[in-house]
Structures are given as C-alpha cells and as structure tokens.
Amino acid sequence: MTKEDFQKAVPEALEATAVPGLPILRGKVRDIYDLGDRLLLVATDRLSAFDRVLGLVPYRGQILNSLSAWWFAATRDIIENHLIAVPDPNLSLVEKARPIPVEVVVRGYITGTTKTSLWELYRAGERRPYGVALPEGLRKNDPLPAPVITPTTKATGPGGRDERLTREAILKRGIVPRALWERIEDAALALFRRGQALAERAGFLLVDTKYEFGLVGDRLVLIDELHTPDSSRFWSVESYRRGAPEHFDKEFLRLWYAERGFTGEGTPPPLPDTLAAELAWRYARVFEGLTGRAFAPAPGPQRARVERVIREVAGG
C-alpha cells in the first residue's frame, strides 16, 4: 500500500467496538472483552502518545496485532506467551494473566528526547540512571556496551505516570520476588537479543522496547504486545549508517508533536490525515520487512467485521 492508500483509509479507521450483552473495558488503544479465563483483545486504530489518545491511524490495529502474533511465534522457545489464537487481524484471544506490576524496558542504544530518556539523564550528568552503570564518553545514539534493563512501574488510572525503578528497589520493596525477577531479566534480555537479530536481518535496528509479563497460575508468560513500532523504537540500518537515524515507530509522531510545543500538557494539535497515513506506512514497512509478507487490509468495513467475529468467539 502507498501513503496515498493509507490516507484514503483514514475515514474507515476502527475507533471502537461495542457488542450488546458483552461487558467491555476500554483502554487507551484496546477494547477488552472478558470471557472468563480468557480475554479477547481488540487492537483498534486509536493512537496514544504522551499518555493521551491523539487520533486514529488507519490499519494500525491490524498491523500491530498481526506483527505481535508473528513475534510471539518467533520467540516461544524463549518464554511462553498469553496468545491462544488470532481469530481476526484486529483480535487476539489470550489467556487471562495476573500482570507483573513492572514494565521491563530494555535499551540497546543511548537515545531519547524527553527529560527522563536515557540520553537526557546521561547528558545531565547521571552515570547510574535506573541503577545501571554507564561509561564515560557516550554520544547520543551510540550503542550501549550491552543491552540494559531500565524498569518502571506500570502507570494506573487517568493521568498516571510511570515511576523510574532500579533492580535494587524492585527487590527491596518486594515488588517482585527475587527468583521471579531473575527469570524476567533473563527472558527480557534473550527476547531483546532475538529481536535485534531478526530486525537487523530485515534492515532495521531494534533500539529499545517494552515488555510486560504476567502469571497464569505459577507460569510466567509474556503478555501485551511484542516488538511492535508502538512498543519499540526502530531505526532503519541505512539511515543509522548515514548518521541520521530515521524512525519507523511512534517516535516519528512524538517528534512532530514536540516540534509544535505539545508534550502532554494542554490541548494537542489535531492529528493530520497526512501524518496518520505516513505513520501507518512506516508501521507497514516494519511489518513487511520482518514477516516477509505484503500488508493487505482485511476485506470489508472494519467495525462490522470485527464485531461479528467478537460475537462468534464469545458465543463459542
């Protein structure tokens, strides 16, 4: 699909679903249907940044949901995940898990533009951000000597903000038991190494990413999404070699808003259709590069199709 194709699809973007008789929990970008010991996750086209829903990106949900499913299959030998089935490109049927209350952020490069980014903390003089020792002499966008884990609490409630954590704080405060946290660390670093290898083969650098884990009974499983342009930072290898990393992820949109003075406070500028289409096109390039498949939208009006499948899955 071309950028023009994505722009034409903006009016048909999937904003929300609602199925009579089925209770729904609406998150920033997902609709969630509770089916007892399973959840049906609807990946909508709502786009969130700066803890705000900023607009709709055509086929965002299809691309990210399908890409996560691909990654789940490609990493199942490292750790189990919650995915049971993908009954529709926008839907994931998953096991219901008890979430671990820590977002596990793994970084392979020192970069970022916000005040709490690894680069800005380092530039301000911090040499142990998130409790991780960093050497002197690093420059913005340099690869780190080895990938590092920079955990945060998982924000809850309207306007909630993540809190920076250290490994020591997680263990001292008993947020996660030591043995479980060590399993999470091992899994996160192994996932990141696998992600970097497969991304580079596709012409991208996996710069950093966020993992979420949960427990199904006593089983540790990977939940949420995996290595998508929403939860990860991707640069094209070619642009990085030129010294000007080009974003194929949500940071592309964040930078556009930041240039116009919006970083979460006040009223955001409207999301232009051209920008939504550009972002969708970049997401699709990552999907196609990694999976080796051309992105093709599911046929028919999105909402009608997705709600029909929700009813079928819930009724089954």
Domain extents in the chain: 3-98+288-315, 99-251
Alpha-carbon distances, residue 294 vs 1, 80, 312, 314 (angstroms): 8, 27, 28, 30
Tokens of 37: 């010991």
Q: What is the pLDDT of residues 185-232, one digit of tens each?
A: 999 999 999 999 999 999 999 999 999 999 999 999 999 999 999 999
Contact status, residue 43 vs residue 61, Cβ threshold 8 Å: yes
Q: What is the pLDDT of residues 100-124, one digit of tens each?
A: 999 999 999 999 877 788 999 999 9
Q: Which of 123-132, 155-164, 225-234 has the lowest mean pLDDT?
A: 155-164
Q: The pTM is what?
A: 0.95
CATH fold of 3-98+288-315, please? Phosphorylase Kinase; domain 1 (3.30.200)
Q: Coil, strand, or helix at residue 149? A: strand
Alpha-carbon distances, residue 98 vs 81, 166, 304 (angstroms): 13, 22, 31
φ, ψ for residue 54 (rounded to 5)? -100, -15
CATH superfamily of 99-251: ATP-grasp fold, B domain (3.30.470.20)
How many C-beta atoms surround the C-beta of residue 223 within 10 A? 23
